[in-house]
Chain A
Amino acid sequence: EVQLLESGGGLVQPGGSLRLSCTASGFTFNNYALSWVRQAPGRGLEWVSTISGNGDSTFYTDSVKGRFTISRDSSKSTLYLQMNSLRAEDTAVYYCAKDLCSRSGGSCYFFDYWGQGTLVSVTS
């Protein structure tokens, strides 16, 4: 059974930092791209960042470029999101999500499994 378990969310002041983690199980970790998708309170879904299965390629939405860094550790089957210079508009539930397609066939950047989410609240 595929499972994704996020952690690391919390309350932080503007300008502060947090590192989110997502521990994965139930699939071959290196075979799939992984992504972070966020949802501000009462709002819709927003794609944040994606990392390829082998970690060589990373992608970011413009609003987080230069502030957030996505990474993965295959030895721990864990995805990370380092968030620096946090702003009030980064307040959201952050989900990690697994790609539907394995990299052997070409990642397709649709998300078939999601974690339960971790809440990041940026406020003074």
Chain B
Amino acid sequence: EIVLTQSPATLSLSPGERATLSCRASQSVNTYLAWYQQKPGQAPRLLIYDASNRATGIPARFSGSGSGTDFTLTISSLEPEDFAVYYCQQRSNWPKTFGQGTKVEIK
């Protein structure tokens, strides 16, 4: 099983600041990685797929990069609605696995 480790666990930032979230895989997943956003009481929302492709309707302030084992989700300038938990997910191997999440909270 591919283990995805996200860091940091919590990121405390102010609106307008840049957020950088990391996801590290226990073995190469090529670029078969996605990022999701989840707000309390809501289902997850797909942000990025195949490491760097924005999903439909996702604002340009969200960007993804990386390949192999190291990936980054960047939010260029945090909006109030961006404070949430973010998960990475790999589709390279079965079982499909998620990271444990990074919470982006208001400082």
Contact = CB atoms under 8 A, between A and B. Distances in A.
Interface of A: 35, 37, 44-47, 50, 59, 61-62, 95, 100, 108-112, 114-117
Contacts of A61: 95
B46 A110 contact: yes
A37 B87 CA distance: 13
B96 interface: yes
B89 interface: yes
Interface residues of B, number: 22
A114 B44 contact: yes
B34 interface: yes
Interface of B: 34, 36, 38, 43-46, 49-50, 55-56, 87, 89, 91, 94-101
Contact of B43 (A44, A100, A110, A114): A114
Contact of B99 (A44, A47, A100): A44
Contacts of A112: 46, 55-56
26 contacts: A35-B96, A37-B44, A44-B98, A44-B101, A45-B36, A45-B38, A45-B44, A45-B87, A45-B89, A46-B98, A47-B89, A47-B95, A47-B97, A50-B96, A61-B95, A95-B43, A95-B44, A100-B46, A100-B55, A110-B34, A110-B46, A110-B49, A110-B50, A111-B36, A111-B46, A112-B55
Nearest to B94: A59
